[in-house]
């Protein structure tokens, strides 16, 4: 099992794969016969790769469902991962998965720890380690939320896409500067809606002017830069950033504080 919570992590999957292959070669495939030829005792059936999957969601992922199906079909008898956190960070879901492995007589090997999971002590140790992994995730989440709230109180954005008419500040995280090529489009949309009172009519006029949505450069290519429709116009007109109000989280929209 290979997992990274952020699909943009290019090196971590390769490192995990290399570590697992090295472990297999060292502990399983290192015996030799009388002619000093290596005897292969373990064959890698499949790499179950979870890219961009959070540790709290991994046990419910499509890759884990596929793994369980392969185990039921008796195609897998050993599951390997470099660390418990690569499996996931949910103790209850881990224990359910671990019991599933034991029921089907499948061994679990975590290369970070030399633990024998066939006995009660090994089961206890690995359960404690998984609980610590979940606690670490919760502590990190609380720290991250606290950091985001502090940034918000200082008048800085804590995430989300950049609105039309703005660019990220070149040196100040969480602050925006005006995009002078896009800001006239925003003013046009507000002014025309005050006159026409119709989202679709405003979108139609904007498209005649060849105005387009925000252009974003992301991994994999260019996004946005599309024709406007009533939904796009509504999103711009109701975005509070244009009237100087900063949102900490969209679920708080409309609350006076």
DSSP annotation string for 232-251: HHHHHHT-GGGGT---S-GG
Distance in angstroms (rounded) separating the CA atoms of residues 219 and 37? 46
Q: Is the pLDDT of residue 208 over 90?
A: yes
Please, which pLDDT band fits residue 118 given cuts at 50, 70 and 90?
A: low
- Decide the pairing of beta strands 49-51 and 166-168: unpaired
Q: Report which listed range, 44-53, 108-117, 127-136, 201-210, is most confident.
A: 201-210
| Cα–Cα distance measured from residue 69 to residue 45, given in angstroms and rounded to the nearest whole number | 13
Predicted pLDDT at 25: 82
Cα dist. 2→53, 79, 85, 204 in Å?
10, 11, 10, 48
pLDDT in tens, 132-165: 766 766 776 667 666 667 767 777 776 677 889 9
Region 221-248 average pLDDT: 84
pLDDT, one tens digit per residue, over 153-197 is 777 776 677 889 998 888 887 788 899 999 999 999 999 999 999
| Polymer length of the chain | 257
Using 50, 70 and 90 to split pLDDT, how confident is the model at 201?
very high
pLDDT reported for residue 144: 65
Could you tell me which of 129, 122, 66 has the C-alpha nearest to residue 94?
A: 129
What's the pLDDT score for residue 130? Answer: 67
Per-residue pLDDT of 5-21, as tens digits, reads: 765 555 578 888 888 88
12-46 as b/e: b if 16+ CB within 10 A: bbeebeebbeebbeeeeeeeeeeeeeeeeeeeeee
């Amino acid at each position: 099992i290979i997992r990274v919570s952020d699909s943009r992590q290019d090196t971590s999957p390769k490192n995990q794969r290399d570590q697992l292959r090295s472990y297999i070669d060292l502990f399983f495939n290192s015996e030799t016969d009388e002619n000093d030829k290596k005897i292969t005792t373990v064959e890698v059936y499949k790499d179950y790769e979870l890219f961009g999957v959070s540790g709290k969601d991994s046990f419910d992922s499509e890759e884990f469902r596929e793994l369980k199906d392969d185990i039921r079909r008796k195609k897998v008898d050993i599951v390997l991962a470099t660390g418990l956190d690569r499996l996931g960070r949910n103790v209850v879901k881990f224990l359910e998965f671990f019991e599933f492995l034991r029921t089907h007589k499948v061994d679990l090997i975590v290369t970070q720890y030399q633990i024998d999971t066939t006995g009660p002590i090994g089961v206890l140790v690995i359960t404690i380690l998984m609980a610590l992994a979940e606690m670490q995730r919760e502590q990190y989440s609380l720290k991250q939320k606290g950091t985001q709230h502090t940034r918000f109180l200082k008048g800085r954005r804590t995430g989300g896409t950049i609105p039309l008419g703005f660019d990220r500040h070149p040196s100040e995280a969480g602050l925006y500067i005006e995009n002078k090529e896009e800001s006239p489009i925003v003013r046009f949309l507000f002014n025309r809606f005050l006159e026409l009172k119709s989202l679709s009519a405003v979108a139609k006029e904007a498209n005649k002017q060849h105005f387009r949505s925000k252009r974003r450069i992301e991994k994999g290519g260019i996004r946005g830069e599309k024709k406007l429709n009533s939904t796009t116009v509504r999103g711009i007109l109701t975005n509070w950033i244009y009237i100087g109000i900063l949102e900490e989280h969209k679920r708080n929209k409309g609350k006076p504080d």
